[in-house]
Amino acid sequence: MKKHLLISLLAGCLTAAPVHDARSLDRADPLITDHDCTWLLQIPASWIDSVQANRRMHYAHTSHGMQLSIGLEIIEDDDPAYSYVYRNGVLPTEAGAFCIFNGQEGDTYVEPDEYWRTRDGMDKTRDVLDHNPTINTSMWAWCQQLDGYTEAQVQQYLDSIGVLESQYPDVVFIYMTGNAQAGGAGGYNRYQRNDQIRAFCVTNNKVLYDFADLDCWWYNTGTEQWEHSTYTYGEVEVPIEHSEFHGSNAGHTNDASCVQKANALWWMMAVISGWPGTQSVEETTLGDVKKMFR
């Protein structure tokens, strides 16, 4: 079932994959990773190798953040070329794999207070980086906090990550938007707060993994078009998780959503590693996809 899921998700790149203008990470431009950055087969194998050889990630998250590791596992199960190792409280050292330190020391799930919102939390983040000097990428994933957070609370998040950036200039800190599952007033608030994060990242040339955008867009291989899911709140069209991603078996969603998010993670890591983010591989056929994900 997972094999067919991957083929379905990736087949769209055979005829209609957009070329995303993801620029090199010179910090003179923002790097925004969204649904246009999910064409896994467009990343040359050499850049996947580069991520595995050179990127070491610290990933702290709540339960929704599991979606990325679930997607990475599905992809690796279908093709070992996308090898990754993900360990709680330890930085893996396996050669030929994208190595990820999960959580904080002793904490698998990491709430805001344990990464950026409090002095003790920021010290926990610093402790991971100080004791694992080869880590060069760090990010924290939201749960439902943005459904109720104020503008000031989100500004504290932005300010705190900025402090960490200044203290660890060799580490790429990745900002994230929150999931787009809530409707009603909570979903509208989340939408505003996500736009606050996006605007900050664009204005200040930050690296953003747009989790919410990836929730709301689904590629329909039948029509070869992206579909954007929204609902109306007052007179505002608010993005919300696409119905094709409804489920609860995989970090509060389904496998398809997890794979889409993991595709985007590989894309972002390749760009951070130096790949220009443009299509530089020969045209892929459906036979190639089936062979790759047999």
User: For residue 277, is it left (φ>0), alpha (ψ between -120 and 50) or beta?
Assistant: left
Quote the CA–CA distance of 113 and 291 in Å, as a whole number: 45
Quote the CA–CA distance of 137 and 200 in Å, as a whole number: 19
- Residue 149 is predicted with a pLDDT of 98
- Residue 279 is predicted with a pLDDT of 52
The whole-model pTM stands at 0.88
- Residue 9 is predicted with a pLDDT of 43
Nearest residue to 196 (alpha-carbon basis) of 178, 217, 218: 178
- Averaged pLDDT in 10-residue chunks for the chain of 294 residues: 41 36 58 96 97 98 90 96 96 97 88 95 97 98 96 98 98 97 98 98 98 97 95 98 90 90 97 83 44 31
Q: What is the end-to-end Cα distance of the chain in Å, rounded?
A: 11
Q: What is the CATH code of the structural domain delimited by 2-10+30-274?
A: 3.40.50.1110
151 contact partners, CB below 8 Å, separation of at least 6 = 192, 193, 196
- Residue 252 is predicted with a pLDDT of 82
- Residue 181 is predicted with a pLDDT of 96
Quote the CA–CA distance of 76 and 262 in Å, as a whole number: 10
